[in-house]
Structure 1
Amino acid sequence: MGCPAGVGPDVILAGAKELSRLPARLLVLGDAQVLSERAKTLGLFPSFRLVKAPEEAQAGSLNLLPLSELSVSPGRPVLEGFQAMVRYIREGVKLCLEGRAAALVTGPISKEGLAAIGEPYPGHTEMLAALTGAPEVAMAFWGERLRVVLATTHLSLRKVLESLTPQVLLRVARLAYRFLTQDLGLERPRLALAALNPHAGEGGLFGDEEIRILQPAIKEAQKEGLPLQGPFPADSLFFRAASGEFDLVVALYHDQGLIPFKLLHFRDGVNVTLGLPLVRTSVDHGTGYAIAGSGQADPTSLIAAVRLALRMARRRLPRPQAPSDPDSPCTQKA
């Protein structure tokens, strides 16, 4: 559900009708009282099925597994709410790792809230990596027109320059390729690496990072069979990718990738964590405390995140083996 005082409850309520039509048993980990109070504030009254275990969830409606009992005002976060949002995440990860849930879709959380309750993580990505023991993860963003993966995440520009290495870029390229092929089903994906400097450095005139770091990473990636091309000037690359020339762009830092992505997918973008032993997608927006409870929160990103999670989960499910016995009752006979 995300932070109880933010727009997480709002988008769940606003998207409930469309979400309940999806061919899946959707389970909300959250707070019944918060959702009930927010529904009254918004004038929305979707029905929820209260369940005590994921196995009780049914398709055709939203199922709610209460994990907290809070009374919070929209837009006014409290410590108990921060603790609850972490509880929801931990329980969701646990259910997925136990095989009791096929995917995790997270609502928006407060990074300041994490710090306020002593959590050592700057955001979802780092927390999920720690909870699952994933050695290598990456933050990606999915939209119908543009897909982006970040080589670095929440770092200052100075620290970005210190952090970029051929090994970092190669690791991210591997995760991106696996995402496109295994999770999305692309047979021949095309990956492009964004340059760091203007005009991709102009042969070293405007910086030598392309020569020292980016080009060696591309050569190593291609040796492994990864279809990574570039480095391409960032001012034109995202237009080329959105026009269909590339399936995904490896961006070097947060705003390089997210400014063009949000220009195209501000309402319907989806955040995806690559490298986890579970499917995790998320809304591509924050807690929105300023508009929580106002009716302005848009559920489009949440609906897109659930749809993408279903798509990825279906591809990760074990495929049934064709029976070898021709007389098996599962064998189709013409």
Structure 2
Amino acid sequence: MRPIIGITMGDAAGIGPEIIVKSLQQQDVYKRAKPLVIGDVKILKREAAHIGSLVQFNVIEKPSQGLYESGTVDCIDIDLLPQDLAYGKVSAESGHSAFCFIVKAVQLALEKEIDAICTAPLNKEALHKGGHLYPGHTEILADLTNTEDFSMMLSTPKLKVIHLTTHVGLLEAIDKINPERTYKVIKLAYDTFARAGNPEVKIAVCGINPHAGENGLFGNREEEIKLQPGIDQARAEGIDVTGPYPADTLFYRAGRGDFDIVVACYHDQGHAPIKVMGVEDGVNITVGLRNGVIRTSVDHGTAFDIAGKNIADERSLLEALKAAVDLAPVKK
């Protein structure tokens, strides 16, 4: 019953191939998952030789052909890159190939041939040079799955956060929050956990203002107008959601186990506590994609400055793989 996790190789000029090989030479990964790399196998082989890894590579055409056993890396080979691709250099070739890896992963996920997607980092400049004008992974995935309502979830071993808004200014973020968006994000969080076998998930919502407005003392009753109706709608459907709570104590309570996930109202409200918990353990998750497609990712970039030096830390990818396993829909 181990889920098949499709791992996209990301930008081949960065640390993606290195952290993939380092992660998949660890036996524990295979106890919980069937990892399948979607990338360029010659680059993976080059990286294995570079770091002194003894793993072997099994090139397959479809996930059902995988061996999924320790010591062997199963790979769907998308052969687009030159053998001598330079480390740490922006190129149209690496940007285009990174996009193609994602396209293949999404196809397999929509066809239910893999159970979740785990992405190594891509480089936005290279992506654009390769002819794909997206801000990043999330927008690519939303486009390829024809998804409009999605959200970013951040995860560490002790804390999970989902966002009402992300990459907009603070004033615009508050303006964008409304009861409909509040309800939708709560429902996205609930559905994600329920599909993974945890319908009893406990959800808590952050207030917008200090002390969650303290009954109108701070702000203009944003909690009452923008958040509470969405919370009430979700509760009426049987979802265990409470709040809004003051953010300065809610994250502490969630970290000690009172709640499974926190709904943050804006970018820094949710990101700052996660970063404090440790960047190496952070995982970026896209939820709400069509057909229940789950995507997890490392919480760092391509690190061109250290690519090819055998010093990249694979811990974030290992955490992303664990998150993909935990959130993959339960097989029946």
1:46 aligns with 2:55: yes
Within a 5 Å distance, the mapping from 1:116-265 to structure 2 comes to 116-183=129-196, 185-208=197-220, 209-265=222-278
* TM-score when normalising by structure 2: 0.87
Identity of aligned residues (%): 38
Q: Counterparts of 2:87 and 2:273 in 1: how far apart (Å)?
A: 31
| 8 Å Cα contact 1:32/1:69 also seen in 2 | no
Cα distance 1:42–1:95, how it changes in 2: closer, same or farther (>3 A)? Answer: same
Per the alignment, residue 6 of structure 1 pairs with: 14
Alignment RMSD (CA, Å): 2.1
Per the alignment, residue 302 of structure 1 pairs with: 317
1:292 deviates by: 1.8
1:173 deviates by: 0.3
One-letter code of the match for 1:303?
L
Deviation string, structure 1 residues 193-237 (Cα, Å, up to 9, x no partner)? 111222222333431222321223222322232222111121221
Q: Counterparts of 1:102 and 1:245 in 2: how far apart (Å)?
A: 29
1:177 deviates by: 1.0
SS in 1 for 2:183: helix
Per the alignment, residue 74 of structure 1 pairs with: 87
Per the alignment, residue 282 of structure 1 pairs with: 297
Per the alignment, residue 29 of structure 1 pairs with: 38
Larger Rg: 1
* TM-score when normalising by structure 1: 0.86
Q: Which moved more, 1:202-211 or 1:243-252?
A: 202-211
Aligned pair count reads 316
Per the alignment, residue 6 of structure 2 pairs with: none
1:272 deviates by: 2.1
User: Is there any run of 5+ residues in structure 1 with no aligned partner, and where?
Assistant: 320-334
Q: Counterparts of 2:133 and 2:209 in 1: how far apart (Å)?
A: 33
Deviation string, structure 1 residues 263-303 (Cα, Å, up to 9, x no partner)? 21422232222122223222222222222222232212222
Within a 5 Å distance, the mapping from 1:83-122 to structure 2 comes to 83-122=96-135
| 8 Å Cα contact 1:23/1:59 also seen in 2 | no
2:65 to 56, 69, 84: 56
Q: Which moved more, 1:82-91 or 1:113-122?
A: 113-122
Q: Counterparts of 1:252 and 1:118 in 2: how far apart (Å)?
A: 34
One-letter code of the match for 1:56?
Q
| 8 Å Cα contact 1:191/1:248 also seen in 2 | yes
Cα distance 1:116–1:195, how it changes in 2: closer, same or farther (>3 A)? Answer: farther
SS in 1 for 2:31: coil
| 8 Å Cα contact 1:4/1:77 also seen in 2 | no
Q: Counterparts of 2:182 and 2:191 in 1: how far apart (Å)?
A: 14
Q: Counterparts of 1:156 and 1:112 in 2: how far apart (Å)?
A: 23
Cα distance 1:144–1:17, how it changes in 2: closer, same or farther (>3 A)? Answer: same
| 8 Å Cα contact 1:193/1:229 also seen in 2 | yes
Q: Counterparts of 1:53 and 1:181 in 2: how far apart (Å)?
A: 28
Q: Which moved more, 1:225-234 or 1:35-44?
A: 35-44
